[in-house]
A and B are shown apart, each in its own frame.
Chain A
Amino acid sequence: MLGQGFVSAAAIAASVLFILSLGGLSNQEKAKRAVWYGIVGMAVAVFFTAFGPGIGGYWWLIPMMIIGAGIGTYMAGKVEMTEMPQLVAALHSFVGLAAVFVAWSADLERRRVLAARAADGVMQEFSAFAALVATKAPDELTFLQIEVVLGIFIGAVTFTGSVIAFGKLAGKVDGKPRQLPGGHLLNAGAAVLSLVLAVLYLNGAGFWTLILLAALAFFIGYHLIMGIGGADMPVVVSMLNSYSGWAAAAIGFTLGNDLLIVTGALVGSSGAILSYIMCKAMNRNFVNVILGGFGGATGPAAEIEGEQVAIDAGGVASALNDADSVVIVPGYGMAVAQAQTAVSDLVRKLRAAGKTVRFGIHPVAGRLPGHMNVLLAEAKVPYDIVLEMDEINDDFASTDVVIVIGSNDIVNPAAEEDPNSPIAGMPVLKVWEAKQVFICKRGQGTGYSGIENPLFFKENSRMFYGDARDSLNTLLPLVD
């Protein structure tokens, strides 16, 4: 058995390692080292806590960890990079559920201790967490109750929210926003009811209040995320990421464990910042995204003149052969069509011919922050030619050919030109400034926001219809 001093030292070491791990993600090379900091930090934290004072139940603990590690390894090895968003969402749900269980347990322990106190008035030997609870003063116990309520509520919302997000991202649940009749009033009602239950619980009501509270929070998580469309999932996933952190922090308070608090706070702020970045990239505020739907159009959208002109692979190829500089703008459509390897082959060929080829990535392209980067990295596209929106937006004017693959709203000029457009003011990639734009697209439909894209009607735009992967594969042999 290790002493309490060891455990505290380990907690400090783990906190520092976690911070270094997140800080190391500032660039690709450092990141490879940073992930090891995280792994070591976690190993230290788990090992020293598990073998710290007053811990028992190893017969449970060790087999569970072995099974869990097995499942985790299997999942991590099997997952496709296009499925990253759903994996992340699924993992969030685990944290949420664990938070609910831990908080429930904490209350059960509290009740056990109180019951023992009331029964004989003398302190009996408690093990594990119960021993800690036994030392708490009455006002500390009240705070513990508040923390339990927070842990359960946040954890439960995270759980069902993540499950639904997972379903939507994996295509198992319809991606369209859907709500029960009553809409957000239902959510508000559930939230008020939860508050009432929390007050009842604090005033000494039974354990059933916590179960009901969890049930209500489960409902809120489910219903809230059901009402959000598939393309807003980057924000939702980052938000759930944030929530899972806050849930961990709340549990940390309950258990009086600083390491949990620190880690939870790190994760929580990380998710919050990611959500903020995503919302900013869509020029929408957080509440608007979470409550769902586009709104606030102030007038009729500007009329679009011109027509969409289609082009075949031969035309695209000859333009590419003549071009010196090419920019590729990928979107969710590339992930759907699994076209990243075809894109990578095209890039390799063009680069071998001495052309400058770069990628322009909009912050909300795909279904997860940074989704496109990971897909392109998987297809072995070097990361130094994959640029952010701000880095590349000024270069479009001097670009010969832009290929837009499966993205729509993020290249919509209406955001800049039409003040009445629902996406007015959203920062977009200014592909239309290039000499020629080819849009690789399945059909004439609109994007997620459901609005017409004037880009497709511009004089320098040509529509290259078809499945992205098939189109690129027919294009490849024609490029020299």
Chain B
Amino acid sequence: MRIGAPKETSRGEARVALTPESAQQIQKLGHECLIETGAGLAAGFNDDTYRDAGVTVVDSAEALFEAAEVVIKVREPSEAEAARLREGQTLIAFFWPAQNEALLEACRAQGATVIAMDMVPRISRAQKMDALSSMANIAGYRAVIEAGNNFGRFFTGQVTAAGKVPPAKVLVIGAGVAGLAAIGTATSLGAVVRAFDVRPEVSEQIESMGAEFLFLDFENSQDGSESGGYASPSSPEFREKQLECFREQAPDVDIVITTALIPGRPAPKLWLEDMVAAMKPGSVIVDLAAEKGGNCDLTQPDERIVSDNGVIVVGYTDFPSRMATQSSLLYATNIRHMLTDLTPEKDGVINHNMDDDVIRGATVTHQGDVTFPPPPPKVKAIAAAKPKKKEKEPTPEEKKATEAAAFKAQTKRQVGILAIGGALMLLLGQVAPASFMQHFIVFVLACFIGFQVIWKVSHSLHTPLMAVTNAISGIIILGAILQIGSGSAVVSVLAAISVLIATINIVGGFLVTRRMLAMFQKS
């Protein structure tokens, strides 16, 4: 099959869907690659590098659409491009079928199959073709770079001969792929980063990237697993709590990066006018949601504006395109993986398998039918987070109270035992002869000493302890010794046997203990 990448037609789009690198890989699948002349120029790939990679350079878009059986693009097709599609042709691009219904219909009418890269389901197997994540990652990185470009100070704190520099404080709202990338970039530049997300289960990821998770104490927090790993709209009460938290942060932070998006809805307004007003002059807000209306009240899509109090609000929508080389490399690789899945036999024949969860999910028109929206995937995006029981930290007073109660109970028990023990001793003293009581005192004291001593024995020495107590319990030999000289023959014989076995016990016990202890060695 011939795979062709035309030059992007939308204004300012610098990315390209085919790179020399991905072209080589695609050729290994048995396909032929075509590219419109100059398509990769903005991303840093000239026609010659494509030719070197074995790609045929075509003079015009018309010719390319004519020649290619699969057209790969970055942005959704323009009306003119859609009109060029023909029956049996496949288009792979970011399509946004929910927003572009007319376009979808147009493509269907042309009879083309459209695979929307933005519809690739979020399951592990499909991660390699998840172009949204690739682009979000770049956007998150670029957002920090843009912020740094507009921010008048260092990110990292320093103590220099010329004075102390505090580190920049960065707040990242929304810890999706873009948010996490922004956190990673900002922390590696040395900033102090805080992050917020409505899905409490991402707190671990946030902390693993080196940021502090702003925890919102709120019941019924969202479970992101229900919505395929994306956030969903929050309740008014939750929103109120959230804004309160942001309001608190506003005077403190230097840079705010907002990435909060809800699939298929306008971006939620999270950074309100009064928060901007509360920020220090020279602070920077980078709104990654600008394309969907922005998370910040002041955001103007594609504009950089300065508020009345000197806060810079960056609302660019083309962050990935601003890093065209990197974006193209990653996007082309995503496309290449999609083609690999479409060419299971590696024989240059596309097998559009509608039973495959990933291909089915991404396909929006096929054989003259609109196949959007797709049925829910069979595999859940991420495992449902098990509700973690949060143990409440007891207040110092409660702690004290429980400790006091435990102490009291212990005292009560000990006094009780002592009282009962004392009473028993008294009773025993009434009937027992004095000589017995003397021995009994020795016995009780020995038990006490035994308990005190044995508790200190290390667990690892329990076997030697048993062996040594075993040897010591051979002390019964004394009893036999005392009796062995008796006048009675029976007694003498019994005592003699006792001496024999008790000696085995003593000698065996001690020797084996010594053997064992000698084996314990320190490293």
Contact = CB atoms under 8 A, between A and B. Distances in A.
A203 interface: no
Interface stretch (B111-119, B241-249, B327-335, B494-502): B494-502
Nearest to A106: B483
A313 to B, nearest CB: 26
B463 A373 contact: yes
B261 interface: no
A165 interface: no
A31 B517 contact: yes
B510 interface: yes
Interface stretch (A193-201, A267-275, A441-449, A472-480): A267-275
Interface stretch (B290-298, B340-348, B446-454): B446-454
Interface residues of B, number: 83
Contacts, number: 387
Contacts of A54: 485
Interface in A158-200: none
A275 B472 CA distance: 18
Interface stretch (A286-294, A374-382, A427-435): A374-382
Interface in A59-95: 60-61, 64-65, 67-69, 71-73, 75-77, 79, 81, 84, 87-88, 91-92, 94-95
Contact of A75 (B443, B502, B508): B508
A129 B486 contact: yes
Of the candidates A65, A77, A143, A368, the one having the most CB atoms from chain B within 10 angstroms of its own CB is: A65
B478 A31 contact: no
Which of A15, A31, A112: most chain B Cβ within 10 A? Answer: A31
A42 B475 contact: yes
A363 B439 CA distance: 36
A101 B480 contact: yes
Interface string B480-507: 1111111110111011111111111111
A95 B505 contact: yes
A398 interface: no
A143 B433 contact: yes
Contacts of B421: none
A76 B508 contact: yes
B400 interface: no
B465 A109 contact: no
* A18, A238, A371 — most chain B CB neighbours (10 Å): A18
Interface in A20-64: 21-23, 25-29, 31-32, 34-35, 38-39, 41-42, 45-46, 49-50, 54-57, 60-61, 64
Interface in B55-95: none
B475 A102 contact: no
Contacts of A129: 482-483, 486
A396 interface: no
B167 interface: no
**At the interface, is chain A mostly helix, strand, loop or mixed?**
helix
A48 B510 CA distance: 19
Nearest to B511: A76
B149 interface: no
Given A19-B453, A32-B517, A94 B502 contact: yes
A123 to B, nearest CB: 14
B523 A257 contact: no
B314 to A, nearest CB: 39
A166 to B, nearest CB: 13
The 5 closest A-B pairs by CB, nearest first: A68-B503, A56-B485, A382-B523, A72-B507, A370-B462
19 contacts: A19-B449, A21-B468, A25-B458, A26-B456, A28-B522, A31-B520, A32-B517, A35-B513, A54-B485, A73-B507, A104-B494, A105-B486, A105-B491, A108-B490, A109-B483, A245-B473, A257-B482, A262-B446, A361-B460
Interface of A: 15, 18-19, 21-23, 25-29, 31-32, 34-35, 38-39, 41-42, 45-46, 49-50, 54-57, 60-61, 64-65, 67-69, 71-73, 75-77, 79, 81, 84, 87-88, 91-92, 94-95, 97-99, 101-102, 104-106, 108-109, 112, 126-130, 132, 137, 139-140, 143, 237-238, 241, 244-245, 247-249, 251-271, 273-274, 277, 361, 363, 368-371, 373-374, 377-378, 380, 382-386, 388
